[in-house]
A = this chain, B = another copy of it.
Amino acid sequence: MDKKENSETINPLIDGHLHYLHNVSVDNVIFGYHEKELKVLLQRPQGMAKWQLPGGYIKRTETIGEAARRIAEARTGLTELYLEQFRSFGTPRRTEDEDFTPELLSKVSGFKVPADFWMFDYFVSVGFYTLTEFSRVKPNGDFYMEECEWWPVSELPEMVFDHLEMIKEALKTLRVHIYHHPIGYELLPEKFTLQDIHALYETILDRKLDSRNFTKKLLTTGIIIKLGEQKKMKGHRYPFLYMFDKDKYENALKEMMVLVV
């Protein structure tokens, strides 16, 4: 459903049923972190009041991971997103919605869409998520989308289908995930203060973490190195700068380090 695809051969409203799998799709929960805020990338299709996750159909020639990446890239413009599966969603009427109708699709597309159109069938959706530095991402809505925007996870708009539940589940997975995998490499500047990384963990976990205890445990893992430099700030404090030890960081990713914070 991205622009490139529409300009090529597949128009999902004409021959989508031949090129895409039936009864199974993907949805992406793209989290963005920037200056102590956690946001999620949502879209609003033409003619609909509710927002949705950037998801889509799986081509018969691609893996589910390839489908998720193709769709996410088309929306964000970023090519190196690391998407991970978190859960699949499947209940018989999950994509029924008062706004998602043959009339709407007909109006938006100019084609006559029948009531038993394949898109209205029972779709199981495989959920993928990722976490990125959101100032790097330029939301890029596709042909059928009216808006594409970052929303704070604490203030989400009205959403279509079970997409709100998907975001909640992805957030739960992200919060378990950071106990087992270090995060921060792509979310923090190359040199950062202990306050910066502390704020990152607090934002994602959405709770206060004892600063001394957090620092002590983080330093014990060996994934960050104290530099000789100090950050110049207003006032009297000049906090030391740190950077990630790339080897130890990669190793911690592999070993599933457990950081109890």
Contact = CB atoms under 8 A, between A and B. Distances in A.
Contact of A21 (B63, B64, B88, B122): B122
A227 interface: no
A70 interface: no
Contacts of A60: 92, 122
Nearest to A26: B90
B124 A24 contact: yes
A126 interface: yes
A179 interface: yes
A124 to B, nearest CB: 5
Interface string A230-258: 00000000000000000000000000101
Interface residues of A, number: 27
A91 interface: yes
Contacts of A107: none
Nearest to A84: B87
A62 interface: yes
A90 B68 CA distance: 11
A46 interface: no
A91 to B, nearest CB: 5
A85 interface: yes
When all copies of this chain in the complex are counted, the total is 2
Contacts of A65: 90
A217 B180 CA distance: 18
A203 B258 CA distance: 19
A7 interface: no
B90 A58 contact: yes
Given A88-B88, A90-B126, A258-B258, 16 more contacts: A21-B22, A21-B24, A22-B22, A23-B24, A58-B124, A60-B92, A63-B91, A64-B89, A64-B91, A85-B87, A85-B88, A124-B124, A176-B180, A176-B256, A179-B179, A258-B260
24 contacts: A21-B22, A21-B122, A22-B22, A23-B23, A23-B24, A24-B90, A24-B124, A58-B90, A58-B124, A60-B92, A61-B92, A62-B92, A63-B90, A63-B91, A63-B92, A64-B91, A65-B90, A88-B126, A124-B126, A176-B176, A176-B180, A176-B256, A179-B180, A260-B260
Interface of A: 21-24, 58, 60-65, 85, 87-92, 122, 124, 126, 176, 179-180, 256, 258, 260
